[in-house]
């Protein structure tokens, strides 16, 4: 009588599902009594089955034997596994990022309260107000200098004199905005 599928799988060091798939694919054959002859099956397995690639970590992890649990519990505390350390490192990295963010936020709040920083909304409002005042002053220049230009041109037509009048009016308008 041959071995059972599970016994042969344990003999080969593979899962019973791998043995079932090999039987279904015709790579190994059962005996007449339904068992598996280990000598024949080993030879057939070698001839018809390609070895699994060893490159992936998943394949290595599935072939690691699991320890058999003992009936008496051990008195030593469980040691952390590699996965636990990785999670711990991730926690510490996350905490460091959080602390760095909190420190930067506190620095920004301090600088804002000590008037080193100004709110974007305040700057936008001030720029809008200054631009509107500048536009209004520039639009008033023609009405202010038009009578002077006419008087200057009637007396003696001089392009340079007109340009000087306009230039002085622009400078005056800009100085009024600065003050």
- Residue 152: predicted pLDDT: 82
Residue 62 has pLDDT above 90, yes or no: no
pLDDT tens, 166-178?
A: 999 999 888 888 8
Q: Give percent of the chain above pLDDT 70.
A: 78
pLDDT interval class at 147 (50, 70, 90):
confident
For the segment 78-131, what is each residue's pLDDT rounded down to a tens digit?
555 555 555 556 888 889 999 999 999 999 889 888 888 888 899 999 999 999
Instruction: For residue 93, give both structure tokens.
Output: 């990295």
Q: Which residue has the higher pLDDT, 70 or 40?
A: 40
Which of 20, 29, 24 lies closest to 2 in space, CA to CA?
A: 29
Residue 111: predicted pLDDT: 87
CB atoms within 10 A of CB 18: 16
Instruction: Determine how many CB atoms are found less than 10 A away from the CB of residue 28.
Output: 21
Q: What is the pLDDT of residue 87?
A: 53
Specify the pLDDT at position 156.
80
Residue 47 pLDDT > 70: yes
Tell me what pLDDT residue 88 has: 56
Question: d(Cα 142, Cα 100) in Å, to the nearest integer?
Answer: 57
């Amino acid at each position: 009588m041959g071995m059972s599928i599970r016994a042969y799988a344990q003999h080969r060091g593979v899962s019973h599902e791998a043995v079932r798939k090999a039987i279904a694919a015709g790579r190994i054959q059962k005996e007449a009594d339904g068992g598996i002859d280990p000598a024949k099956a080993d030879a057939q397995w070698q001839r018809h089955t390609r070895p699994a690639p060893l490159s992936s970590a998943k394949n290595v992890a599935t072939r690691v034997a699991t320890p058999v649990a003992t009936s008496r519990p051990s008195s030593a505390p469980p040691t952390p596994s590699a996965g636990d350390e990785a999670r711990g490192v991730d926690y510490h990295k996350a905490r460091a990022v959080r602390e760095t963010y909190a420190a930067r936020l506190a620095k920004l709040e301090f600088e804002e309260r000590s008037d080193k920083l100004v709110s974007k909304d305040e700057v936008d409002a001030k720029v809008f107000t200054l631009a509107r005042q500048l536009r209004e002053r520039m639009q008033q220049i023609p009405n202010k200098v038009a009578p002077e230009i006419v008087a200057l041109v009637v007396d003696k037509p001089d392009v340079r004199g007109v340009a000087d009048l306009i230039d002085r009016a622009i400078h005056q308008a800009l100085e009024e905005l600065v003050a």
